């Protein structure tokens, strides 16, 4: 009975392993801590066991991964927890790259391929294109595409975009305003003409000669 | 910005010289400064149109003393709108400042010329002292004859130059 039970258990385990699409991909943690289990080989490692993001595993810094390994020999225990699988069927190793994300905006949250990422700590990523996004309440999300190269850890500074109040440019003068301006110009012109006439007449000779015999000038109706 | 040239043009046009006026400037001179104490100017209809006087000035004390008027006596004459009839200008000289004792008289019959400022000079000369002529005529020389007082043409008058002073006029501005 014990042998038969053990054989059935072995068969069950083998069948289970054969039906799990990720099982063959479960990679052993390499010495440098850059390989991971549970994630498709073309995307970010770590966190694949959660099932929510089979293609976009959560990104954790190396420190967290290292800590996970140190605590129980499982890689990335902080987020994945399934990296303790045997490396007996490990695929050919893929050399990884990394990013160190920096943000000058306090409280900014960073995301790599839609998953939260730590600030200021190295993040292991598979080579290729990745989307990095910075968000913060009251800011516009800033998303950029970066290319990670194998064996390189790039430093990337990304900030959410402050929302700047848009000041509308001054509108061109409307027709009614032009009419008002023209009216004011006409009034000013008339005033200027009146003043000019008064000043000119004050300084100009009189329209009629005024003599020294009172009243000086006389109108005649012959 | 476009209105300023217009304003400047209007202001300049306002400063343009005044339009020519229709006027006759009367200037009365005399070579009787010692005897002539009073004077009066009277405007009458022309001799062919009898009627009351058109205008009569107050009696003017003539001389350089306080309250009197120095020669030449001047008076501007302008027409009422549309009037172009002839009229007679009479200047009378008196030996007293109350204008009661007439000693000399000169007259001229003139007509306004549209848009022209003309000068009419009347001389109360010694030659015509106590020589009074009937209406329509005036004393012209020492013969005492009366001649037609019509003045069909008058010289222009420059209002800026003023009335020309006769050589006998006293120099009121001289300090010596």
Residue A145 counted as domain residue: yes
The nearest CA of chain A is from the CA of B140 a distance in Å of 24
Q: From CA A126, how far away is CA A173, in angstroms rounded?
A: 58
- Considering only residues B120 and B159, tell me which one the structure prediction assigns the higher pLDDT: B120
Q: What is the b/e burial string over A66-82, where b = at least 16 CB atoms within 10 angstroms of the residue's CB?
A: eebbeeeebbbbbbbbb
Of the candidates A188, A207, A210, which has its C-beta nearest B18's C-beta? A207
Q: What is the CATH number of the domain that holds A120?
A: 2.60.40
Does A133 map to a domain? yes
* Residue-wise pLDDT tens digits, A89-144: 555 566 889 999 999 988 899 999 999 998 888 999 999 999 999 999 889 899 99
Q: Which residue has the tokens 């140190």?
A: A70
Shortest CA gap B27–chain A (Å):
8
CA distance A172 to chain B (A): 16
Q: Is the pLDDT confidence value at B55 over 70? A: yes
Higher pLDDT, A52 or B14: B14
Q: Among positive and negative, which fits the CA dihedral A97, A100, A101, A107? A: positive
* pLDDT above 60 for A38: no
User: Which segment of A47-51, A98-102, A182-186 scores lowest on mean pLDDT?
Assistant: A47-51
User: Mean pLDDT score of chain A, rounded to an integer?
Assistant: 68
Q: Which residues of A touch B110 (CB under 8 A)?
A: none
Q: Which of residues 20-79 of B touch A (CB under 8 A)?
A: 21, 23, 25-28, 39, 41, 43, 45-46, 49, 54-55, 57-58, 60, 69-70, 73-79
- Of the candidates A101, A85, A72, A107, which has an alpha carbon nearest to the alpha carbon of residue A35? A85
B19-148 classified as CATH 2.60.40: yes
Contact state of B10 with A221 under an 8 Å Cβ cutoff: no
Mean pLDDT of chain B: 81
**Who among A188, A200, A206 is closest to B14 (CB)?**
A200
pLDDT value for A83: 36
Structure tokens at A86: 């045997």
Q: Would A7 be classed as within a structural domain?
A: no
Mean pLDDT of A60-86: 39
Quote the percentage of chain B above a pLDDT of 90.
Answer: 34
Mean predicted confidence (pLDDT) in A181-208: 80
Please give the Cα distance from A178 to A57 (Å, whole number): 64
CB A41 within 8 A of CB A34: no
Q: Is residue A207 within 8 angstroms of chain B, CB to CB?
A: yes
Residue A136 resides in a domain: yes
Contact A196/B43, CB-based, under 8 Å?
Answer: no
Q: What is the mean pLDDT of residues B28-57?
A: 88
A133 three-state secondary structure: strand
Tokens of B100: 């009661």
Q: pLDDT class for B21, splitting at 50, 70, 90?
A: confident
B56-105, pLDDT tens digit by residue?
A: 999 999 988 888 998 899 999 988 876 678 899 999 999 998 999 999 99
* A113 HSE (CA, 13 A, CB side): 23
Q: Are the C-beta atoms of A44 and A55 separated by less than 8 Å?
A: no
Half-sphere exposure of B30 (CA within 13 A, CB side): 31
Q: How confident is the model at residue A63, as a pLDDT?
A: 40
SS3 content of chain A, % helix, strand, coil (to 5): 30, 20, 50
Q: Which has the closest alpha carbon to A72: A90, A59, A85, A84?
A: A84
The mean pLDDT of A19-42, rounded to a whole number, is 37
pTM confidence score? 0.46
Check: CB of residue B24 under 8 Å from CB of residue B59: no
A98 lies in which domain range? 31-84+94-162
CA distance B143 to chain A (A): 30
| Inter-residue contact B72 to B169 (CB < 8 Å) | yes
Distance from CA of A138 to the nearest CA of B (A): 46
Closest partner residue to B43 among A188, A205, A218, by Cβ?
A218
Task: Choose, out of B4, B5, B14, B161, the residue to mutate when testing the contact with A (most A CBs < 10 Å).
Answer: B14
Contact B86/A at CB under 8 A: yes
- With cut-offs at 50, 70 and 90, classify the pLDDT of residue A21: very low
pLDDT at position B85? 84
Q: Do residue B45 and residue A188 have CB atoms under 8 angstroms apart?
A: no
* ipTM of the shown complex: 0.78
> Tokens 């020519």 label which residue?
B20
Give the pLDDT of residue B165: 66
How confident is residue B3, by pLDDT bands cut at 50, 70 and 90? low
Flag whether A179 is in a domain: no
Residue A22 to residue A40: CA distance in whole angstroms: 7
Checking if the pLDDT of A205 tops 50, the result is yes
B161 pLDDT more than 60: yes
Task: Judge whether residue A162 has pLDDT over 70.
Answer: yes
More confident residue, B141 or A1: B141
Could you give the number of structural domains in chain A? Answer: 1
Greatest extent of chain A over all pairs of C-alpha atoms, in Å: 159
Inter-chain CB proximity B74 and A212 less than 8 Å: yes
B167 backbone φψ class: left, alpha, beta (φ>0; ψ -120 to 50): alpha
CB-based contacts of B38, cutoff 8 Å, min separation 6: B59, B60, B61, B62, B93, B94, B95, B96, B97, B98, B99
Neighbours of A113 (CB within 10 A): 19
3-state secondary structure chain B: CCHHHHHHHHHHHHCCCCCCCCEEEEEEEECCCCCCCEEEEEEEECCCCCCCCCEECCCEEECCCCCCECCCEEEEEEECCCCCCCEEEEEEEECCCCCCCEEEEEEEEECCCCCCEEEEEEEECHHHCCCCCCCCEEECCCCCCEEECECCCCCECCCCCCCCCCCCCCCCCCCC
């Amino acid at each position: 009975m014990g042998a038969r039970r053990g054989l059935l258990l072995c068969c069950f385990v083998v069948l289970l392993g054969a039906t799990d699409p990720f099982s063959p991909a479960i990679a052993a943690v390499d010495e440098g801590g850059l390989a991971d289990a549970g994630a498709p080989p073309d995307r970010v490692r770590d966190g694949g066991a959660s099932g929510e993001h089979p293609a976009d595993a959560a990104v954790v810094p190396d420190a967290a991964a290292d800590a996970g390994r140190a605590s129980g020999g499982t890689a990335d225990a902080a987020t994945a927890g399934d990296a303790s699988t045997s490396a007996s069927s490990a695929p050919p190793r893929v050399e990884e790259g990394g990013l160190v994300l920096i943000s000058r905006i306090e409280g900014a949250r960073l995301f790599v391929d839609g998953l939260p990422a730590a600030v200021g700590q190295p993040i292991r990523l598979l080579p290729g294109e990745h989307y990095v996004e910075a968000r913060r309440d009251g800011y516009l999300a800033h998303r950029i595409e970066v290319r990670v190269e194998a064996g390189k850890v790039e430093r990337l500074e990304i900030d959410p975009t402050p929302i700047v109040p848009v000041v509308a440019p001054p509108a061109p003068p409307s027709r009614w305003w032009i009419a008002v301006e023209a009216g004011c110009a006409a009034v000013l012109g008339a005033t200027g003409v009146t003043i000019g006439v008064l000043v000119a007449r004050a300084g100009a000779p009189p329209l009629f000669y005024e003599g020294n015999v009172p009243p000086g000038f006389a109108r005649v109706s012959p | 910005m476009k209105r300023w040239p217009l304003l400047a043009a209007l202001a300049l046009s306002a400063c343009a010289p005044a339009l020519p006026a229709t006027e006759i400037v009367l200037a009365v001179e005399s070579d009787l400064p010692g005897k002539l104490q009073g004077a009066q100017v009277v405007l009458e209809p022309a001799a062919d149109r009898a009627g009351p006087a058109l205008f009569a000035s107050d009696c003017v004390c003539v001389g350089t003393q306080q309250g009197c008027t120095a020669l030449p006596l001047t008076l501007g004459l302008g027409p009422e709108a549309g009037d172009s009839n002839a009229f007679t200008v009479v200047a009378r000289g008196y030996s007293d400042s109350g204008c009661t004792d007439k000693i000399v008289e000169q007259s001229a019959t003139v007509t306004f010329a549209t848009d022209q400022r003309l000068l009419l000079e009347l001389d109360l000369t010694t030659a015509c002292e106590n020589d009074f002529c009937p209406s329509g005529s005036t004393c012209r020389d020492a013969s005492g004859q009366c001649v037609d007082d019509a003045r069909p043409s008058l010289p222009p008058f420059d209002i800026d130059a003023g009335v020309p002073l006769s050589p006998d006029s006293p120099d009121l501005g001289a300090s010596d």
